Structure 1
């Protein structure tokens, strides 16, 4: 089982990616890492998802896409839950495969300065609104303020010459 005290470099890099990489890239990296993995190891990963994230009850170890999705989203929502449920003997090769995947190429900007701390767990209400805890979500749902070419108030209807 994973613990922050006994963490090796591979798992630390994997955690960094889980916290910082875009969800779509993470999901693609997990699918790429899980596909060639032995079915018995994917069974262990699935069991860790089921126990740690309380998800995937109807999945089969061969359901690579949905399994990758659950790992990615689950670790973003509840940091450390999947990691704690996955045995280190399976977590380490999974982490290595994700790190080396094409989708993760160039995603280690800021790793050297990362303190290794887990982010605070998102509020359940934050997830319920469909924002998925992404920082850009606040920008998308904030009220847009339109301005005309001289800086005065405008609207989408009048911004381009309409009345």
Structure 2
């Protein structure tokens, strides 16, 4: 079944009052839960560890959507104590959670990008890499002046020396580069 409002609403209309159980409250499960709430249907969540443990009780080990749905349905019917109720959180809490998740993502991506740049710089110019402050816009401007980190190994020794001195002094020396 497609994860679309009309398809979900049509299914819920066929089975009013049936509990809606998902294994993920956010992402893929959020639309099903929000439509169930609008339809006045009971909502529950099967936590990941419980779903994983329950999946071992059934034949097969392939991880498919169909098998996952079967495990959730049979667990919900046979072991209802494994389910957690889905709490309605105030919109402010959900907004804060969403912003915190985005901040965490951006922080990880920023660290990943800096680590990658340091890796690129380390091979051709270890002295510059050791002194480079990748959060300093002036340092990034200096690197851009020689064509970016990939071009540092091709830059003249005078240009790399200028970069290194500029990095030490924290000055903008991009215009001194050849």
Q: Which protein has greater RCO, CA pairs closer than 8 Å, 6+ apart? A: 1
Question: Higher strand share goes to which structure?
Answer: 2
Q: Provide the TM-score with structure 2 as the length reference.
A: 0.27
Q: Provide the TM-score with structure 1 as the length reference.
A: 0.29
Task: Pick the structure with greater CA Rg.
Answer: 2
